[in-house]
Structure 1
Amino acid sequence: MLTPELLYALRNLPLAARQAAEGFLAGAHASRRHGAGMEFSQYRPYQPGDDLRRLDWRLAARSDRYYLRESEVDTSLVVNLVLDASASMNHRDDNGLTKLDYARLLLASLAYLAQKQGDAVGLTMLSPSGLQHYPARADTRQLPRLYHALEAAEATGTFPDTATLAPLTARRQRALTVCVSDLYEEAGEINHLLARLRATSGDVLLLHLVAGNELNFSHKGPLTFRDLETGQTIQLNADEQRAAYQQQLRQWLRDTAQAARQQGLDYHQLSTADPLDGALREFLKRRQLMS
């Protein structure tokens, strides 16, 4: 299984996305099912209550048996990928990857996987300067568009305000929205956006990204920490503060997960030290439930 640092070392986002995703395609939920569509698939015996218009009368005349023509109905979805591109995503883990680096790999892999499932996939990147939005499409040129956008993405400033985010939830559209964020906010702005996305799209998979060195607090000795979004600094001894920090972090993570699930979000915590398989599995699971 490829680690995120090995994927990143390829320096080729399309190749990394394909390598990460293809191992999950086998056994994944197909994007088509049998039903009363236009493309013929197979026959099945007539059962009481079936629509008589779907009977194959020619076959009945030849065989004296009644069969229905089964066809395939496209159950492709609209998948909207949302990237938190605020400055806190520049936090770097001990493996050399920033949260933004990991998010690029993850979203590119999800875009590849969604297109392989026959879904229309789009991308929105959130930054204080505005929304960079690529509407969901299923054409073959969409993946290169999204790869290019992700490769050029930069994490800057604070999470955008409500007015900037308004176009993202201005229209109701049944979709699977996948949001990747570290959930660092000042006054509940991310939480408010997720609630609006839940109301307008119906299904939201929240991938909460935490750096490995945030989880284990691997820092040592006296250090100065700087907030990547506000620039504020604090001096402390990492060895002395480790236990208290980890206790508070565990409580925050529990509270965050509970609050997200109470809002009806499908919440999944990720570490930048972990392979991408957990997130890809959650995506396929959520997609199967929607199809």
Structure 2
Amino acid sequence: MAVARPELDLTPPAPTDLGREAAALSARMPELLLQARFVSNTVAHGIHGRRRAGPGETFWQFRHFQSGEPAKRVDWRRSARDDHLYVREKEWEAAHTVWIWLDRSPSMYFGSSLGQCRKIDRAVVMALALIDLLIRGGERVGLVGLLRPTAQRHAVERAAVAIAREPLTDDAMPTDAPYGPFSELIAIGDFLEPLGDIESALAAIAGRKVHGHLAQILDPVEEAFPFTGRTEFHDPTLGLRYVAGRAETVREAYRARMAQRRDRLKAVAGRIGWSQLVHHTDRPAQEPVLALHARLSGGNDPRTFARGVATGTGA
């Protein structure tokens, strides 16, 4: 049986279409901020903060004095009010900054009926929820290109305003952002640009002693490829147009290519000591937020992740 020959057209989509999409994202920002607050509150109920004892100046808690400790550690004022000896512990205050990079490229504006929302909407909710969670835990958080690192509680509102003012960009993951040594970067995007460009950017950032986490956001359609019959595909970034006469004939090859890309991205992240996760927009937003928070806290036990997700509800 003859198969229709695919067509390739370099005519870009009308720029006004993406402009309308970006304006719509800005208009939805109050709703997305509310979703982010909900996700943050849900996740916060299932986790413990990153605060821990260590060198610092901020009081954290009292605990019972243990045999063998130096007597100078006893807080005599607190001990005088009870029958036990107490030690005053201070919170660990090593300088630490978490950066979040939010992919706002045209491909992130894709969404299908199989997902709960578009990729950009889910990425925004994740970014804002993480900012809220981390600042609650005492971290300094910055949004690459939009918000300088801060520990102020209203930073999540400032981040939402900054995204609403600049909802669309063609910029790739920036390697020249003011990352400090030993800071952490959470990169949220679909990572569908050429893998060579991604590898170069990751190597450059990791070379600055930055530890990172990749959160790949995909619509279910982008991996399942459920299309049949004559189907037209558009690349909003490069302006390519592809028409498949019988889309089902390329399904297996497409799935294999996507699996290969995902495995290579995971391998690239692994070589530089970064973590990587894949999230589909038909799943609740708190799942990747909880997983990323656990990785920032050094928790890699999947049982911890499962327990936390079980406490949440869909968003």
TM-score interval for Structure 1 and Structure 2 normalised by the shorter chain: 0.7 to 0.9
Partner-residue secondary structure (3-state), 2:207? helix
Q: How does 1:117-266 map to 2 (within 5 A)?
A: 117-124=137-144, 132-157=145-170, 159=172, 165-168=174-177, 171-186=179-194, 188-236=196-244, 237-266=246-275
In the TM superposition, what is the alpha-carbon distance from 1:35 to its structure 2 partner?
Answer: 4.5
The answer to whether residue 14 in structure 2 is matched with residue 21 in structure 1 is no
Name the amino acid aligned to 1:72.
K
Q: Which has the higher strand share?
A: 1
Are the aligned partners of 1:80 and 1:176 in contact in 2 as well (CA < 8 Å)? Answer: yes
Partner of 2:285: 276
Change (3 A) 1:41 1:217: same
Query: In 1, distance between residues paired with 2:60 and 2:274?
Result: 37
In structure 1, the residue corresponding to 2:278 is in which secondary structure? Answer: strand
1:105 aligns with 2:118: no
Matches within 5 A, 1:27-38: 27-35=46-54, 37-38=56-57
The sequence identity of aligned pairs, in percent, is 22
Q: Which consecutive residues of structure 2, in runs of 5 or more, have no partner in the other structure?
A: 1-26, 300-315
Task: Give CA-to-partner distance per residue, 1:71-116, whole Å, 9 cap, x none.
Answer: 2314584221101222221222224732212211111111121122
- What letter matches 1:79 in structure 2? V
* 2:155 counterpart letter in structure 1: Q
CA-atom RMSD in angstroms? 3.0
Aligned residues: 269
1:38-117 aligned within 5 A: 38=57, 39=59, 41-48=61-68, 50-56=69-75, 67-75=85-93, 77-94=96-113, 95=115, 97-117=117-137
| TM-fit CA distance, 1:10 | 9.3
Counterpart Cα distance in 2 of 1:256 and 1:110? 23
Unaligned runs of at least 5 residues, structure 1? 1-7, 125-131
- The Cα of 1:21 is off from its aligned counterpart by 1.7
TM-score, normalised to structure 2, is: 0.74
